[in-house]
Structure 1
Amino acid sequence: MNEPFFGANSAEVVGEVDFGVKTSVWHNATIRSESFIGIGKKSNVQDNCVLHSKGSEKTVVGEEVTVGYSAVVHGSERKDNCLIGINSSVLTDSRVGENTIVAANALVPENEELPPDSVVMGVPGKVVRKTKEEEIDLIKERAQEYYELAKKYKNNQKKQHK
Structure 2
Amino acid sequence: MGPLYTFEGKTPVVHPRAWVAPTAAVIGDVEIGEEASIWYHCVLRGDTNIIRIGPRTNIQDGTIVHVNAGRQSTIIGADVTVGHAAIIHACRLEDRAFVGMGATVLDDAVIEAGGVLAAGSVLPPGKRIGVLELWMGNPAKLVRVLTEEARAGFDRTAPHYVELAGRHRSIS
Residues 42 and 60, structure 2, Cα contact 8 Å, conserved in 1? yes
> Following TM superposition, by how much is the alpha carbon of 1:136 offset from its aligned partner in structure 2, in angstroms?
2.4
Quick check: 1:121–1:127 contact (8 Å CA) kept in 2?
yes
How much identity, in percent, do the aligned residues show?
Answer: 29
How much has 1:82 moved relative to structure 2?
A: 1.2
> Is 1:146 matched with 2:161?
yes
Mapped pair 1:17 → 2:16: no
- 5+ residue gaps, structure 1, are 158-162
Question: Distance between the aligned counterparts of 1:67 and 1:99, measured in 2?
Answer: 13
For the residue of structure 2 that corresponds to 1:92, the secondary structure is coil
Deviation for aligned residue 1:3? 1.1
Matches within 5 A, 1:17-36: 17-33=30-46, 34-36=48-50
Residue correspondence of structure 1 range 80-95 to structure 2 within 5 A: 80-95=95-110
1:48 to 62, 70, 79: 62
Counterpart of 2:59, as a letter, is: V
Rounded Cα–Cα distance in structure 1 between residues aligned with 2:78 and 2:134: 18
**Is the CA contact (8 Å cut-off) linking 1:89 and 1:106 kept in structure 2?**
yes
Partner of 1:127 in structure 2?
142
CA distance in 2, matches of 1:101, 1:84: 6
Q: What count of residue pairs does the alignment treat as equivalent? A: 157
Which residue, out of 93, 117, 120, partners 1:102?
117
Shift of 1:85: 0.4
Contact 1:65–1:139 (Cα < 8 Å) also in 2: no
Q: How far, CA to CA, are the matches of 2:155 and 2:54 in structure 1?
A: 13
Give the structure-1-normalised TM-score.
Answer: 0.93
Deviation at 1:154, TM superposition (A): 0.5
Q: Secondary structure at the match of 1:156?
A: coil
SS at match of 1:145: helix
The runs of 5 or more residues in structure 2 that have no matched partner are 1-11
CA contact (8 A) 1:71 1:89 kept: yes
Deviations 1:20-71 (A, max 9, x none): 1000000000000121001111000000000001322110111100000000
